[in-house]
Structure 1
Amino acid sequence: MAPTIVRDGQFRLFFFSREEPRIHVHVGHPDGDAKFWLTPTVHLANNVGLSQTQVKQAQAVVEKHLQEINDAWQRYFGS
């Protein structure tokens, strides 16, 4: 299961159920996807198919929606 947190332009932010306990978010895009760790700061964990420009755009989207992501994580995973 991969609940969507938010859509922003061509980016879809989501979690995978039961993947790992460290807080992170996946960012889907028609050209590929990326995973970002959220602590201690937002930073790229991995990238498949996105250009460097798209990765920067994806990171900006994550940073823009950081509170929503954290709130969704707490609701979904409860910790």
Structure 2
Amino acid sequence: MPVILRHEGFKFFFYANEGNPREPIHIHVRRDGMEAKFWLTPQVRIAYNEGFDARMQRALIAVIEANVNLIERKWDEFFA
């Protein structure tokens, strides 16, 4: 489970086994027993959410958007 980014107690990561065939590029976010998954393309959006309120979801989307190039690069490096 490669961790790509840590931000204000949040862990941004992806699972090494992302399905067969592999799912499109995305990132998981976890903190305090809550987790969400975000698709990156065609725009950052929520795939599922377990516990984050709407305000926090918007904040997480902003963090992901600011780091989308890093996330995509790390995804490509890991799954290459």
- Calculate the TM-score normalised by the size of structure 1: 0.90
> 1:37-71 deviations in whole A, cap 9, x for unaligned?
01111110000011111111111111111111001
Displaced runs of 4 or more, over 2 A: none
Counterpart-to-counterpart distance in 2, 1:40 and 1:71: 16
User: Is the contact made by 1:43 and 1:59 (CA closer than 8 Å) also made in structure 2?
Assistant: yes
In the other structure, the counterpart of 1:28 is 30
How many pairs are equivalent? 77
Cα 1:52–1:31 shift into 2, 3 Å: farther
Give unmatched runs, 5+ long, in structure 1. Answer: none
Percent sequence identity is 36
Q: What is the RMSD of the two structures over their aligned residues, measured on CA atoms?
A: 1.1
Give unmatched runs, 5+ long, in structure 2: none
Equivalent position of 2:51 in the other structure: 49
Question: Match of 1:75, as an amino acid?
Answer: E
Q: Find the counterpart in structure 2 of residue 63 from structure 1.
A: 65
Using a 3 Å threshold, how does the CA distance of structure 1 residues 58 and 46 change in structure 2: closer, same or farther?
A: same
* CA drift at 1:77: 0.6
Scaled by the length of structure 2, what TM-score is found?
0.89
Contact 1:31 1:50 in 2 (8 A): no
